[in-house]
Structure 1
Amino acid sequence: MALKSTIFKFQLQISDLDRHYYAEHALTLARHPSETDERLVARVLAFGRIADEGIDMTSALCEPDEPDLCIKTLDGRIQHWIDVGQPDARRVLKAAGRADRVTIHPYGGPTSSLWWEGVRKELLRVRKLDVIAFPEAAVKQLAKSVERTCQWQITVQDGEMMVTTGSDCVSLTPDTWREMST
């Protein structure tokens, strides 16, 4: 018998002072049995960092040709493809062919650095790619506070993210490894 996904509900209050974006979002996320709390947190952080009225969580773990998050245009074209973790170079190249912009959010500390060194040379030619890593320590700290129902406040100012959970306040500065060429 296959294991079922666990449902998590996040009530996010996002205040992005850098982009002047202020909104509340109610997310219902299914955590696949193979997904860790750290990866779930990385998905929520990516959502909070790039939040937009058109942003959508997808079922990427079940649908390998889908991003973890995306922003689509009104006609259904993928404007911004967002993945968390360490996707292989072929997946990133394919995403770049389907979207106007691609952002990867690694979150695994030294293993993410090794991943980036392995794919960097091949991906440097992708002009519309951002690689922005979440600090492993902050992701792990936030993963400890994850419950089936969470209320988080995410404030973004000068590139720094402040995440307030019911029991904790975590400050993190995503590390830009590569910025999109214009």
Structure 2
Amino acid sequence: MALKSTIFKADLQIADMDRQYYDGHALTIARHPSETDERMMVRILAFVLHAHEALSFGKGLSADDEPDLWQKDLTGAIELWIEVGQPDEKRIMKACGRSNQVIIYSYSSMSNIWWNQIAGKVDRAKNLSVYNLPAATSQALAKLAQRNMQLQCTIQDGQVWINGEGESIQIDLAQLKAPANAVR
């Protein structure tokens, strides 16, 4: 018998002063049995950074043809494809062909090795952005994971803070690759 996903609920209050986006989101997150708290919290961070009424969680680990998060327009065309972790170059290039913008958030202590191996293979992808989250930061985020979470998220001048359970975590992302027409 297959293990079922664990359901988590997150009440997010987002104040993104860089994008002038201020809203609350009540998220229901299905955590795949093989997914760690760390990975799930990085998915939530990705949601915070790109919050929009049309942004939603994909099937992620449960499906090969869907990202961790995506945003579609009213016609169903994919505007934004977000991956968490270290996808292979074939998955990245396929995503770049299907979406206007692809963003990857890596978070492992092995991210530099992964990036050095695939950077040359995905260099031609003009709509790809890749960010690395330090392992210590993603591990601190994992400590905030609870079945019911209340998180306050602030973004100002490129600085990101997530507050929850009496903890305040500053997020410092390193950009490994910028898209050809960098917007953010």
The verdict on a shared fold, with TM-score over 0.5 as the criterion, is yes
Matched, 1:8 2:4: no
The residue matched to 1:61 in structure 2 has which SS? helix
In the TM superposition, residue 167 of structure 1 has moved relative to its aligned partner by: 2.4
In the TM superposition, residue 142 of structure 1 has moved relative to its aligned partner by: 1.6
Letter in 2 for 1:43: R
In the TM superposition, residue 160 of structure 1 has moved relative to its aligned partner by: 1.4
Structure 1 counterpart of 2:100? 100
In the TM superposition, residue 96 of structure 1 has moved relative to its aligned partner by: 0.6
The count of residues paired between Structure 1 and Structure 2 equals: 181
| 1:128-179 superposed Cα distances (whole Å, 9 cap, x missing partner) | 0000112211110121121100000110111111000022110111111111
RMSD value over aligned CA atoms? Answer: 0.8
1:53-132 map, 5 Å: 53-109=53-109, 111-132=110-131
Matched, 1:174 2:148: no
Structure 2 counterpart of 1:43? 43
Residues 16 and 157, structure 1, Cα contact 8 Å, conserved in 2:
yes
The residue matched to 1:120 in structure 2 has which SS? helix
Q: Distance in 2 between matches of 1:135 and 1:24?
A: 27
Q: Distance in 2 between matches of 1:164 and 1:2?
A: 35
The residue matched to 2:61 in structure 1 has which SS? coil
Runs of 4+ in structure 1 deviating by more than 2 angstroms, as ranges, are none
Structure 2 counterpart of 1:20? 20
In the TM superposition, residue 93 of structure 1 has moved relative to its aligned partner by: 0.3
Residues 162 and 169, structure 1, Cα contact 8 Å, conserved in 2:
yes
**Unmatched segments (≥5 aa) in structure 1:** none
Structure 2 counterpart of 1:29? 29
Q: Distance in 2 between matches of 1:7 and 1:134?
A: 25
The residue matched to 1:47 in structure 2 has which SS? helix
Matched, 1:152 2:151: yes
**Unmatched segments (≥5 aa) in structure 2:** none
Letter in 2 for 1:71: Q
In the TM superposition, residue 58 of structure 1 has moved relative to its aligned partner by: 1.0
Q: Distance in 2 between matches of 1:117 and 1:42?
A: 21
Letter in 1 for 2:152: Q
Q: Distance in 2 between matches of 1:133 and 1:18?
A: 20
Q: Distance in 2 between matches of 1:98 and 1:10?
A: 29
| 1:24-55 superposed Cα distances (whole Å, 9 cap, x missing partner) | 01110111110011100110000001111211
Letter in 1 for 2:156: Q
Letter in 2 for 1:33: P
The residue matched to 2:95 in structure 1 has which SS? helix
User: Normalising by the residue count of structure 1, what TM-score does the alignment of the two structures yield?
Assistant: 0.97
Q: Distance in 2 between matches of 1:145 and 1:104?
A: 22
